Amino acid sequence: MAKERGVLKMIWNGFISSLKPRFASRKLIGEDYYGTKYYEEDIRNSARKRPPRYFVPVNKEDFQQELPAEWEAWLRYRRKEPPTREEIEANYQLAITKKENAAKLLENRSKNDNTTNLPASSTQAATPGNFPVYEDMKGFGSDYKPKDSYK
């Protein structure tokens, strides 16, 4: 025979688990290079399938702080295992390399960009935005008269 779950038993277990301190059931998983600590809680007396994951920032007043992509993926359950320090360091070095390469490309492009010697286009001065003007459509709609005279 199947074990029945009583409503009163569920309420009692929930009440008892709410009296237990929460800090005792959390486990420190790791820390990023900003100093943010990441935790995972135990799910002993809960109907949850996945343990709650959260972080505690260094500066609690800063609501727009950056989270590394690896840790954010772990927090949102996109990955099972937390990121290793070597993985975070390798991705950080890759990001720095990409920023340096982008700065070099921008510098080379600004050196080789000769837009000052180009003639100004006549269509850009006459029309707003980047819309092209076609010769066969230039006068289209100029002879339009509304049906109502008050318009």
CA dihedral of residues 67, 69, 70, 73 (deg, nearest 10) = 100
Amino acid 79: pLDDT: 93
For the chain, 151 residues long, the average pLDDT of each consecutive 10-residue run is 73 82 77 89 77 89 84 94 91 93 92 65 58 81 76 55
Residue-range domain boundaries for the chain: 24-111
What's residue 133's pLDDT? 79
How big is the chain, counted in residues? 151
The answer to whether the beta carbons of residues 53 and 34 sit under 8 Å apart is no
Distances 28 to 12, 38, 93 between C-alpha atoms, Å: 29, 6, 25
pLDDT of residue 128: 62
User: In this predicted structure, what is the pLDDT of residue 94?
Assistant: 94
Secondary structure (H, E, C), 69-127 = HHHHHHHCCCCCCCCCHHHHHHHHHHHHHHHHHHHHHHHHHHHHCCHHHCCCCHHHHHC
Provide the whole-model pTM.
0.53
Dihedral sign for Cα 126, 127, 132, 133, please: negative
Supply the pLDDT for residue 140: 82
Residue of 62, 63, 67 lying closest to 31 (CA atoms): 67
Q: What is the pLDDT of residue 117?
A: 59
Q: Give the pLDDT of residue 126.
A: 56
